[in-house]
Amino acid sequence: MSETIISADLVAKHNAARKAELERDYQSLGERLDRRGIAIDAIRDKVEKFGVAIPSWGVGTGGTRFARFPGPGEPRDIFDKIEDCAVIAQLTQATPTVSLHIPWDKAEPNRLKQAASRFGLGFDAMNSNTFSDAKDQKLSYKFGSLSHADAGTRRQAIEHNLECIEIGKTLGSKALTVWIGDGSNFPGQVNFARAFERYLDAMREIYAGLPDDWRLFTEHKMYEPAFYSTVVQDWGTNYIIAKELGDKAFCLVDLGHHAPNVNIEMIVSRLIQFGKLGGFHFNDSKYGDDDLDAGSIDPYRLFLVFNELVDAELSGAKGFNPAHMLDQSHNVTDPIESLMLSAVEVQRAYAQALLVDRTALEGFQEENDALIATQTLKSAYRTDVEPILAMARLRTSGAIDPVAVYREAGYRAKVAAERPAVASGGGGIV
Ligand SMILES: [Mn+2]
């Protein structure tokens, strides 16, 4: 039995006060879904099994390149971060794993494993960092890492990624995510083809170090920190990388890493169709890589992404097994509250997508009935699935209202008293 940080009695008391209403709402929704030929319990069962990983860096206040305004009780190290992740997992029952970042989370791997298993948490993909210089690092990544013109710098970046795999092996992780900041700020600064060739050669060495049951995720990003060109710029480049490297290489889609108005759900469909969708970094954005809370700006887009995922799940698309991770930066909210609600938003999009009448939709597509086809999606999206999500939490010992329990538990004030304020690390959206 795992330990809990928030008192189980407090969760039970909150749930008891809300249970009767939830049961009425659940029954009423169940009747309406039944008329559409949908068994509500089957949807709830799927939601209960759906998890999204918490990024260790997400539980601290993020920041922008202008400033960071830390909140009270910021985690001081990875062990504090794991405790914050345990609170999120306990109250939502939607976040069974943590995604670590090396070197920020570097610690003795067996200690890390112990700290997480105390709360029943597992580890998702490992994240390497060659987009900033670690303390005492020999060669700088100012002008790139895996694509750097200097072979020694590339070697250092390769070794770092191989070390991430080694740490992950002890932790029970099964994937490595590689995102690089390599690129250029000026036309002519780098030769596009040569930089990409150097990157591919370096990635081949990292790929060769993967255990058989691991996957390698590469993450594309249009711009930032490089503002003219980026080596792994878009999903097309990312697909080429995954194809070049081999069967264990897949593309990771961060929702914020595209140009405004790009049809991300179609990219997702393409990657599924050709067996190269590795997973997601969920977040939301209005203008660029804003790293806002999932579903906070464009929940319909999140739903449309899940519409593709559910379509693949139900049709048994070959090799379909995407990793779900959040990747957000919380600047004005309590990161724990934002992450709890973001995990719920991802589950919500999944539940709504499960309600799409796919047989009917296919018929409307065949008949070129654009209006009713799109209304078929809309009717699923318009369904308030909150009773399903809350019921899934109730049945798995989570909280019907996670934020209400979290606030009453006074967790933030408690850790603020225990954790002295850490010096602000300057800007740092990642
Ligand atoms: Mn990301």
Confidence of residue 135 (pLDDT cuts 50, 70, 90): very high
Max intra-chain CA distance, the chain: 66
The percent of residues above 70 in pLDDT, for the chain, comes to 98
If you measure from the C-alpha of residue 180 to the centroid of ligand 1, how many angstroms do you get, rounded to a whole number?
Answer: 10
If you measure from the C-alpha of residue 253 to the centroid of ligand 1, how many angstroms do you get, rounded to a whole number?
Answer: 8
Show Cβ contacts of residue 406 under 8 Å, excluding neighbours closer than 6 positions.
Answer: 6, 87, 91, 336, 337, 340, 399
Residues lining ion ligand 1 (Cβ < 5 A) are 254, 281, 327
Residue type for position 289: D
If you measure from the C-alpha of residue 331 to the centroid of ligand 1, how many angstroms do you get, rounded to a whole number?
Answer: 17
pLDDT surpasses 60 at 423: no
pLDDT at residue number 385: 98
- Which residue in 159, 155, 150 sits closest to 128, CA to CA? 159
If you measure from the C-alpha of residue 359 to the centroid of ligand 1, how many angstroms do you get, rounded to a whole number?
Answer: 34
pLDDT surpasses 50 at 425: no
Average pLDDT over residues 274-297: 97
pLDDT surpasses 60 at 289: yes
If you measure from the C-alpha of residue 181 to the centroid of ligand 1, how many angstroms do you get, rounded to a whole number?
Answer: 11
Average pLDDT over residues 411-430: 73
pLDDT surpasses 70 at 426: no
> Phi and psi for 99 in degrees, rounded to 5?
-105, 120
Confidence of residue 422 (pLDDT cuts 50, 70, 90): low
CA-angle at 109, arms to 106 and 110, nearest 5°: 145
If you measure from the C-alpha of residue 219 to the centroid of ligand 1, how many angstroms do you get, rounded to a whole number?
Answer: 7
Structural domains in the chain, sorted by start:
51-356 (3.20.20.150)
> Tens digits of per-residue pLDDT, 52-75?
999 999 999 999 889 999 999 999
If you measure from the C-alpha of residue 327 to the centroid of ligand 1, how many angstroms do you get, rounded to a whole number?
Answer: 5
Average pLDDT over residues 280-308: 97
Q: At what angle do helices 335-354 and 40-49 cross, to 10 degrees?
A: 140
Confidence of residue 427 (pLDDT cuts 50, 70, 90): very low
If you measure from the C-alpha of residue 254 to the centroid of ligand 1, how many angstroms do you get, rounded to a whole number?
Answer: 5
Round to whole Å and give the CA distance between 299 and 296: 6
pLDDT at residue number 65: 86
> Tens digits of per-residue pLDDT, 308-328?
999 999 999 999 999 999 999
If you measure from the C-alpha of residue 281 to the centroid of ligand 1, how many angstroms do you get, rounded to a whole number?
Answer: 5
Token pair listed for 403: 């934020």
- Any idea which of 7-21, 138-152, 216-230, 408-422 has the lowest mean pLDDT? 408-422
pLDDT at residue number 428: 47
Confidence of residue 404 (pLDDT cuts 50, 70, 90): very high
Classify residue 152 by burial, with Cβ atoms within 10 Å: 0-12, 13-18, 19+.
Answer: exposed
Average pLDDT over residues 273-292: 97
Round to whole Å and give the CA distance between 229 and 182: 9
pLDDT surpasses 60 at 25: yes
Round to whole Å and give the CA distance between 302 and 387: 19
pLDDT at residue number 420: 82
pLDDT surpasses 70 at 1: no
Q: What is this structure's pTM?
A: 0.97
If you measure from the C-alpha of residue 127 to the centroid of ligand 1, how many angstroms do you get, rounded to a whole number?
Answer: 10
> Tens digits of per-residue pLDDT, 139-198?
999 999 999 999 999 999 999 999 999 999 999 999 999 999 999 999 999 999 999 999
> Tens digits of per-residue pLDDT, 330-353?
999 999 999 999 999 999 999 999
